Homo-oligomer: A and B are copies of this chain.
Amino acid sequence: MPHAQKPTVQHIRDALENAIVDGKFLPGERLDPEALAMRFGCSRTPIREALQALEGSGLVSVRAKRGTFVTKLGVPELAERFEVMAELEAMCARLAARRASPPEIETIRAAQAACMRAVTTGDSDAYYYENTAFHHAIYAASRNAFLEAEALRLQAMLQPYRRRQLQSRGRMKRSLEEHQTIVDLIAAGEADAAAAEMRNHVVIQGDRFHDLVASIRMADA
């Protein structure tokens, strides 16, 4: 990931986004433009532009004359974003139920099968990866490219906080069952039910909310 042959702004942006989403930079951490310029073998200018693009998608916050930092969301900000995310994903599921082509449904089922394998082997990293693939497949099946892009953007924004959340075996198994219900409803064309199920799957409430708050308090220390 350090530096490719021609590190264009787009490449830098993607590399930094992946690094942040994958947790290689932690929320609140400062991103030093000069160090990054060194790493990517270019000047500060493309780095600066990449960072500003990331600010636009909400992943970093540029504080004037003070530095750019990985966005660190507090509990209220996170709650707001999860609320919107639940609605966007519900919309994806609703549209997918109405519009998904057989190959798209097959892709979703394949992702679900991969999740299942990860659960049986107990590989939580693999589950994490396949889980996002599952959701992305549903975004795509909505056949609304703009909606898909918005969902991807918001998902990237929330990913750093979801990462360590709920590595408990119980949650993985529960999540898998919810996935199955969602797939079946989409395949059956039950748009409203699929949307409702997805909303419940994504929204953070009850114990999961308190788990999230606890993990944030821990990260702050």
Q: Which residues of A are at the interface with B, using a C-beta cutoff of 8 A? A: 49, 52-53, 56-57, 77, 80-81, 83-84, 87-88, 91, 144-147, 150
Contacts and interface: CB of A to CB of B under 8 A. Distances in A.
B84 A144 contact: yes
A145 B87 CA distance: 15
A59 to B, nearest CB: 11
A137 to B, nearest CB: 18
8 contacts: A56-B56, A56-B57, A80-B145, A80-B146, A80-B147, A83-B147, A84-B91, A84-B144
B147 A84 contact: yes
Closest 3 CB pairs of A and B: A56-B56, A80-B146, A80-B144
Nearest to A77: B146
A144 to B, nearest CB: 5
A37 to B, nearest CB: 17
Contacts of A147: 80, 83-84
A57 to B, nearest CB: 7
Contact of A84 (B49, B80, B83, B146): B146
Contacts of A145: 80
Contacts of A88: 87
B52 A144 contact: no
